[in-house]
Copies of this chain bind each other. A is one copy, B any other.
């Protein structure tokens, strides 16, 4: 087998596992969101604030992908929801079989949820092509990273249904062309949504939360219709 053959075989196996996960999530009526960004864009912090806002009314859970440490799963567990760390063994992305295994090993603690958040390994490239059975991908971009990122990493911004521009409380202190980001994301993902948030001040959180609750309502209606 050549390098290309191996890659295709890996992606085919991933797609098969992802299809199985998607069926499982549909049966349970669980909305699954796959969060992707550079390291340090604020994925875990956004989840902490999201969980604080929604956990009173919804059953939530989290899967955290990393190369090393249980830090992020611990941060989610401190919010009071079940969360499991997946250490990827050096790999720069989660794959669907890791998600399958993690859910099986949790023995039901991460099943029958309203929303399962999957926080991918901090990386704008590798996670792009790996379907985890999610309803949609969310890409985060912090204003400290520079407005060139949707140009330099177009694939993930094209595939994500939602772009979250984070840390907007830091806009006064950095050079960041928000209009350029809005234009480029609109051109890469014409059907996509873009929200601008600060987990620190709470700005924009309502728009983000309503995307989640809207998607959950839509999924429940679709699951109800097929039952």
Contacts and interface: CB of A to CB of B under 8 A. Distances in A.
Count of chain copies: 2
A122 B41 CA distance: 13
A7 to B, nearest CB: 9
A152 B6 contact: no
Contacts of A148: 69, 71
Q: For the side of the interface on A, what is the size category? A: 35 or more
Contact of A6 (B1, B69, B142, B144): B1
Contact of A68 (B39, B123, B151): B151
Nearest to A154: B68
Given A1-B1, A6-B1, A38 B152 contact: no
A152 B92 contact: no
A156 B122 CA distance: 14
Contacts of A125: 67, 90, 92, 121, 123, 126
A122 B67 contact: no
A63 B210 CA distance: 44
A97 to B, nearest CB: 13
Given A123-B123, A125-B123, A146 B40 contact: yes
Interface of A: 1-3, 6, 10, 38-41, 66-69, 71, 90, 92, 121-126, 142, 144-146, 148-149, 151-155, 167, 169-170, 173-174
